[in-house]
Amino acid sequence: MKKVLATILTCGLILGSLAGCGKGTGSTSASTPASTPASGSSSTVTNTDSKTPTDRPADHVTLKMYLEGSNVTDDTAVLQKVNEYLDEKLNVTLQPIWGTWGDFDQGAVLSLQGAEDVDIYFTCSWTLNEYNQFARDGYYVRLDNPDNNLIEKYGKDILNLLPEVLIKGSTIEGADGYGIYAVNGYKDIACQNCWDVNVDLLKKYGYTIEDIEKADYYSFGDILAKVKAGEGDNFYPLLIEGAVLERMVDNSIIVAGDSGSNNLLSYYINPKKTSDQGAYGNKILNKFATDEFMKFCKQTREYYLKGYIDPDMANPEKANTVRADKQLTGQYLIGTQSYSLGYEIQASKERGFEVAMVPTTPAYVDTTSSQGAMMAISTASKNPDRAMMFLNLLNTDPYLFTLLDYGVEGIHYNLNNIGEAVFTAERDNYMPWTNGLGNVTLLPPQEGQGADFWDTFKAYYGNADEIPILGFTFNSENVSNEFAALANVAAEYVLPLCTGAVDPTEKIPEFLTKLEKNGMQKVVDEANKQLSSFLASQGK
Amino acid sequence: MGEAKNKRKNRKKTLMLLTMVAPVSIWLILLRYIPMAGIVLAFKQYKVYTKAPSLINNIVHSNWVGLGNFKFLFASSDTLLILRNTIGYNLLWIALGVVISVSLAIMLNEVRSKFAAKTYQTLMFFPYFISWVVVSYFVMALLDPTSGLIVKAQLAGGGEATNWYHDYKPWPVILTLSNLWKNMGYQTILYLAAITGIDKTQYEAAAIDGAGKWQQIWHVTIPNLRSMVIILLIMDLGKIFNSDFGLFYSVPQNSGSIFRTTQVLDTYVYRALMNSQKIGMSTAASLFQNTVGFILIMIANTAIRKIDPDSALF
Amino acid sequence: MSEIKIRKRNRLQSVSLPAEIIINLLVGGFALLCILPFIFVIIISFSSEESIRLIGYSFRPLEWSTAAYKFVFDMGSQLWISYFNSFFVSTVGTLISLLMCVLYAYALFRKDFKYRKFFTFFVFFTMLFGGGLAPTYMVCKQMLGLSDNYAALIVPALVNPFFIIIMRTFLQTSVPTELIEAASIDGSGEYNTLFRIIIPISKPGIATVALLTVINYWNDWFLAMLYIREPKFYPLQYLLMKAQNQADFLIKNSSVIGVEATKLLRDLPGTSLRMSLVVFIVVPIACAYPFFQRYIISGLTIGSVKG
C-alpha cells in the first residue's frame, strides 16, 4: 500500500513539474526569458536620474493584472486606447482580468498559489489574498528590495504623490525583510466613525442635531424613548452594526493581521487626539474583559429589550442588507456609519431627507485603513520591472488612469463645463471598481462633487492623524491553532452581545471563560510582545 | 487443446473489459491521482519558493511541519461537542434516511395511478434543485423574530414567541426536518429505480405461491433492495465526519448563540480559516475527515464481506 | 368513478383500498411539502423589491411586481447564450459521462473480471481522497488547457465515483448472472453483450444515473467560476451564483469597504431578480424530468404482472 502511494506521489510530482516546465516555456515564447528583465534593466538604470524611464524599452511585454470588484462586460474600446498608449510609452500590452466581488477571492488566491503568469494583483487588508500574510508567504515582490529596488528605479513618482502615512502603512515585515510589498491606492484612507442621524425625524420630535452632539450613547435613552413611542412598534430608532457600535462607544479599534481570529484583539485610541495614546497606552487588550465592555453590553441590552434595536441586527447574514435598506428609507433615528468625505451630502440626496453625520473621533489612519486598496507584483511575474513601470505610470498619469477607470471620453463619460465627469449609458458596460485601481485623485471629479473636490479630499485625508501604532501588523503564525479556535468563539458571542440579543450578565462570563480556555491570553501576550518590538524599532 | 483455447478466450475477455475501464481510469489518473500529490500540503507550511515560483516548487521547498496543521482541529475547548454534533446528526440521519426513503419508494411504487405516482415523484425531487441559501429564506419566513409566520402564530395564540435564532434547543429538530426534506427525494429515486429494475418473474412466482401484496413487498422487494441499502450505508459511513455545509451554516443564519447544536466540524473549519488563507490547514482538515471515513468504510466492508459478500463494496 | 371500479377488479393483487388511500395521503402530503419552497421562490420573484425591503421574504408580499422578469428578459442575448451553454454542456457532458460510467460499472459488475477488485478500489479511493482545489486547478488549467472553452465545463465533471458505484449496484440488482453466462456461451462479444443485452434491461438504473448527471451539469457553477472568464461561455447557473456571490461578499465586507459597499450592493440584482433566475433554472430541468422518469417509474403495477 505504502509503495503504491509512494509511486503515485512520485508520478504526480514528476508530471506536475513537467507541467510547470511546460508553462515556463510557454510564456517565455510570448515574452522575454525570465532572466532578461534583470539584465535588461541595467540599460534603464543608467537613466533613472531622469526619474521616469522615458526611453521605451525595446522588447514587447504583455502584463496581466487581476482586479477586484469589476463590472465590465465590454472593454474593447478602452483597451484599444489603453494599449495604444502603453505601447508607445512602455512597449506593453495590458490584459486586465476583471475579477468581481466574491469571485476575486477564490480566483486570485488559486492563481497566486498556483503561481500563474499574472503580473499584478489587487490586494488589501480585507480580501483573501490579504496583503500582510501573502507578503510574508512570499507571493509579492518586495518593491524596495535593496538588491533590486524597483521603486528607486521606476517608481519614484508614486512616492512623491502619495501621502507619507500610506507608505508607512504599507511598509511591513515580509518574506524579503521589512519593506514595501505593494503600491498603495489613494482613496478614502482614513477612518472616522459617525452617528448617522435622520435629521428630519429628529426635528419632528423637537430635537436638534446639537442634542445628539451633546449626548453620548449612554444618554440617548430619552430621545430614543420619545421617538419609539411616537413611531410605533415596528420602528426601531437605533440602527446599528454591532461590532462597529462597540468600537465607537468604547474607542477600541481592530488590530491589523487579526482578521483570522475574527478581530478579537483590540487597541484603544484617544478619541480627542488620535495621534496620542489612548486610555490603555500602547497595549493590545482582550477588551471583552474590560468594565467598559460590560457597561456597553448592559446598555445595549436595555435598548434592545425596550425595542430600540431591530432583532435583525443580530442576524449576521441579514443585518447589513436590512441596515442599508432602512438607511435608504429613513426607518431609523440614529445609526452607525463609517464615514467618507462628503457622505452626508451624497446620503441626503440618495435618501431624500436630511442626513447629518456626527463623528465620535477625528479622522485617523490605522494600518487596516491605509491598506484598503493596493497593487502588488507577483513573485511569479516574468516582468516585474515592466510591471513597476506600468504601476508608476498608471498612478501618476491622469490620462491613463482616467481612461482605465472611467473609460473613453465621449463614449463612457463626458466632461461638463466645470470639468466634472458625467457618465453616459455606455458606462454600464464598463465599470471597474473606481477605488480599487489606484490613485483616484488623478480623476476628474464626478458630477455633483464640485470642481475643487480633490483639494478638499487631499486636505481631509492627507492631514488625517496617524495612530501611534500605524504600520503594526500582528503575525499570528505562532498562535494559529489558538486563532482557529478563537475565531469560532468570536463568531459565537460577539454579535449577539454587541446587539443586545442576549443577556450580558449571563453570557459575558461564559464568553470570557471560553476565551481563556482557548488561549486568548497567549494570543494577547504574543501580540504585545510583537507590538513592543515594533515600537522599539520605530524608536517609540 | 481446449484449455489453451479457453485461456485465449479469457485473455481476450480481460482485454475487452480493460478497454471498458480505460476511459474512466485515464480520467481518474489525470484529474484525481496526479493532483493527489497535493496531499503532502497537509504536512507542510506552504510558502512561495520565490526563486522560481510554481505550485510544484512551492510544495517541494516548503517546510515540513509534521502533524502541526492538524492541531487546530482539536484546539477548541468545544472539540467534543463539535464531534458529538457531527457524528450524532450523521448517524441519526443515516438511520432515518434509510427507513423513510425505502418506505417512500415502496409506497410510491404501490400508488396505482401512474399519473399520481409521477407527479408525487417529480415534486419530491424539487428540493434537490433549491440551494440551501434559498431554503434558509424559507425557514426565515417562518421563524423571523419580527415577521415570521410561526412567531406571529405564537403571539396570536397569546403565548410568548420563541427567539428561534438565539435558542439552541429546537435546532436539532429544525435541522433534521430540513435535511430530510431536502434529501429524501434523491434517495427515494435511487431505491425506486432499484425496485423497478427487479426481475418481474420474482413477483409472478410469489403471486403464484399465493403471496399477497404485503408479503410480496416483504419477501421480494425488500431483499432485492438490500444491495442498494448496504452500498448507500457504506458511502454514508465514509462521510461521517463531513456535513452538509449549507445546511449548518445558512439555515441557522450563521447565528452564534445556537452553536451548541449547529456547530459541526465543517463549519468549525470554515470559521477557523475563512479569514486567512491557510492551504495546509484546510488540506489537513479534509485529509483527517477522509481518513476516518476511509477506515470506517474498510471496517464496514470487511464485516459485510463476511455476512453478504455480494453486497460488499469490494 | 369508473377508475375506482377498475381498481376494485384488480384489488386482489394490490394493496387494500384503505392502505392505498393512506399511502396517497402520506406520499402526496410529503410531495406537497416539497414543492412549497419552490412556490415561495416564485412568490419572491414576483414581489416588489420595496416589499422585500419592508417586510422581508414573505408569502404575502405587500406589492406584486414583474420587474424582475422584465429585467431578466432585458438582459437580452446573455440570457439566451447562457441557456444554450447550459443546455449544450448538460447534453454533451451527460452523454459522454454516462457512456464512461456504464462501461466502467459493467466491468466492475463482472465477477469474472480479473482486475475487478483493483479497479473498484481505484475508483472508490478517489471518492474520499483528492489533492484539493489548488493542485486540481493547476492540472486542469495548465496541463489540460481547460480554460475558457466548453471542455472546461464538461471534462472536470465527467466522472463521479459515486455514480459508478451506484450503477454497479443497479446492475447487480437487475441483471441475473446467468444471463451473462448464457451470452458468453453463445460467443457474444463483451461489447455486444453490454449493449444488446445488459443495457436494455438496466434502463431504470441508467436513467437514474443519467438524470443525476444531467442535474449535476445543469446546476454546476463552480467550474465556470474557476475556469471561465469570457461571458460567452457562462452557463445559466453561473449568472445566478455570480450575483449571489457578489451580494454575499459585499454584505460580509461592507464595514471594510465602507460607504461605497452600500451603493455597490444596491447596483446588484436584487433578491426578486435572483429568485426569478432560480425559476428560469429550475423550470427547464423540471420539464426534462419526465423524459427520464419514464424509465424509472415503469409499469410495475399489476398490469404488467397480469399481462
Q: Which three cell numbers stand for residue A496?
A: 449577539
What b/e readout covers C264-287, taking b as 16+ CB neighbours within 10 angstroms? Answer: bbeebbbbbbbbbbbbbbbeebee
* Contact: C134, A110; criterion CB under 8 Å: yes
CA dihedral C35, C41, C45, C49 (to 10 degrees): 150
Q: List the grid coordinates of C40.
A: 415561495
Chain-centroid distance, C-alpha A359 = 21
Q: Which residue of B has its CA nearest to A311?
A: B145
Q: Return the higher-pLDDT residue of C183 and A14.
A: C183
CA distances from B180 to B94, B176, B195, C31 (A): 10, 6, 21, 12
Whole-number Å distance between alpha carbons of B64 and B145: 50
Position C298 scores a pLDDT of 61
CB of B211 within 8 Å of any CB in chain C? no
Tell the residue number behind the cell numbers 503600491, with chain if given. A183
Contact residues, A window 54-93, toward B, CB-based 8 Å cutoff? none
DSSP state of B287: H
- Reported as a pLDDT band with limits 50, 70 and 90, residue C13 is low
Interface subset of A 417-476, CB within 8 angstroms of C: 433, 435
Q: Are strands A61-67 and A120-123 parallel, antiparallel or unpaired?
A: parallel
Q: Which positions in chain C touch A328 (Cβ < 8 Å)? A: 53, 266
Q: Are strands A334-338 and A238-239 parallel, antiparallel or unpaired?
A: parallel
Q: What cell numbers appear for B68 in the block?
A: 502541526
Q: Is A502 on the interface with B (CB under 8 A)?
A: yes
Helix (H, G, I), strand (E, B) or coil at A66: strand
CB contact (8 A) between residue B271 and residue A487: yes
Smallest CA-to-CA distance from C198 within B197, B22, B189 is with B197
Q: B163-184: b or e for each residue (b if 16 or more CB lie within 10 Å)?
A: bbbbebeebeebbeebbbbbbb
- Domains of chain C, by residue range, sit at 1-7+75-307
Query: What's the CA gap between B263 and A493, in Å, rounded?
Result: 13
User: How far apart are alpha carbons C307 and C305 in whole angstroms?
Assistant: 5
For chain C, give the secondary structure using H, E and C. Answer: CHHHHHHHHHHHHCCCHHHHHHHHHHHHHHHHHHHHHHHHHHHHHCECHHHHHHHCCCCCCCCECCHHHHHHHHCCHHHHHHHHHHHHHHHHHHHHHHHHHHHHHHHHHCCCCCCHHHHHHHHHHHHHCCCCHHHHHHHHHHHCCCCCCHHHHHHHHCCCHHHHHHHHHHHHHHCCHHHHHHHHHCCCCHHHHHHHHHHHHCHHHHHHHHHHHHHHHHHCCHHHHHHCCCHHHCCHHHHHHHHHHHHHHHHHHHHHHCHHHHHHHHHCCCHHHHHHHHHHHHHHHHHHHHHHHHHHCCCCCHHHHHC
Euclidean distance between CA atoms B238 and B291, whole angstroms = 9
Q: Do B55 and A487 touch (CB under 8 A)?
A: no
Contacting B residues, span 3-62, partner chain C, CB-CB under 8 Å: 13-14, 16-18, 20-21, 23-25, 27-28, 30-39, 41, 55
CATH class of C1-7+75-307: mainly alpha
Measured in angstroms, the CA of C159 and the nearest CA of chain A are apart by: 19
How is residue A483 annotated by DSSP?
Answer: H
Q: Which residues, listed in sequence order, are joined to residue A355 by a DSSP beta bridge? A: A198
Nearest to C53 among A71, A98, A329 (CB): A329
**Mutate which: B32, B39, B51, B54, vs A, most A CBs within 10 A:** B54
Residues in chain A, pLDDT under 70: 1-54
Cell of A459: 486636505
Q: How far is CA A2 from CA A7, A8, B38, in A?
A: 9, 10, 17
Cβ contact A67:A436 at 8 Å: yes
Entry pTM: 0.90
- Is the Cβ pair B107, C7 closer than 8 Å? no
CB contact under 8 A, C128 and B24: no
Residue of C nearest to A117 (CA): C142
Report residue C14's pLDDT band, with 50, 70 and 90 as the boundaries.
low
C183 has a pLDDT exceeding 70: yes
- Give Cα B17 distance to the centre of its chain: 30
pLDDT, residue B201, reads 85
Using CA atoms, how far apart are residues A106 and B257, in angstroms rounded to an integer? 29
pLDDT confidence of C307, banded at 50, 70, 90?
Answer: very low
Region A4-39+58-189+369-466: CATH code? 3.40.190.10
Cα–Cα distance for residue pair B224/B218, rounded to 1 Å: 10
For residue range B110-164, list pLDDT tens digits in order.
888 888 988 998 899 888 888 898 899 899 989 988 888 899 899 888 888 889 9
Q: How many CB atoms lie within 10 A of CB A416?
A: 12
* C-alpha distance from residue B30 to each of A9, B19, B33, C130, C136 (Å): 13, 17, 6, 12, 9
Tell me if C135 sits within 8 A of A16, measured CB to CB. yes
ipTM: 0.91
Residues B272, A20: C-beta atoms closer than 8 Å: no
Look up residue C55 and give its three cell numbers: 417586510
Distance from C234 to chain A by nearest Cα, in Å?
12
What is the rounded CA–CA span in Å between residue B67 and residue C176? 49
Nearest-5° Cα angle at A411, A407 to A416: 90
Rounded distance, CA C253 to CA C73, Å?
31
Inter-chain touch A113–B271, beta carbons under 8 Å: no
Instruction: Give the residue from C265, B76, C90, C304 showing the smallest Cα distance to A491.
Output: B76
- Asked whether the beta carbons of residue C23 and residue B207 sit closer than 8 angstroms, the reply is no
Q: Are B256 and A495 in contact (CB under 8 A)?
A: yes
Q: For residue A266, list its beta bridge partners.
A: A254, A285
Predicted confidence at residue B1, as pLDDT, reads 54
> What is the set of domains in chain B, with CATH numbers?
69-311 (1.10.3720.10)
Percentage of the residues of chain B whose pLDDT score is greater than 90? 66
Distance from CA of A370 to the nearest CA of B (A): 19
- Of the candidates C249, C265, C47, C54, the one whose C-alpha atom is nearest the C-alpha of residue A317 is C249
What three-state secondary structure class fits A309? strand
DSSP 8-class letter at B145:
T
Q: Which pLDDT does position A30 carry in this prediction? A: 36
Q: Smallest CA–CA separation between B232 and chain A, in Å?
A: 26
Task: Sort out which chain B residues have CB atoms less than 8 A from C33's CB and list them.
Answer: 181
What's residue A85's pLDDT? 96
A3's grid cell: 509503495
| Sequence ranges of the domains in chain A | 4-39+58-189+369-466, 193-240+309-361, 246-286+478-540
Q: A420 near A437, Cβ under 8 Å? A: no
Residues forming a β-bridge with A265 = A286
Alpha-carbon distance values, B238 to A100, B289, B293, B294, C125 (Å): 36, 9, 4, 6, 11
A253 beta partners: A267
Residue B23 has pLDDT above 90, yes or no: yes
Q: What is the pLDDT of residue A259?
A: 86
The CA-based dihedral angle spanning residues A518, A519, A521, A523, taken in that order and rounded to the nearest 10 degrees: -120
Residue C256 has pLDDT above 90, yes or no: no
The verdict on B19 touching A (C-beta cutoff 8 Å) is no
Q: Say if residue C51's pLDDT is above 90.
A: no
**Cα angle for residues A350, A355, A356 (degrees, 5° grid):** 145
Q: Are A263 and A243 in contact (CB under 8 A)?
A: yes
Q: Is residue B265 over pLDDT 90?
A: yes
pLDDT at residue A48 in the model: 39
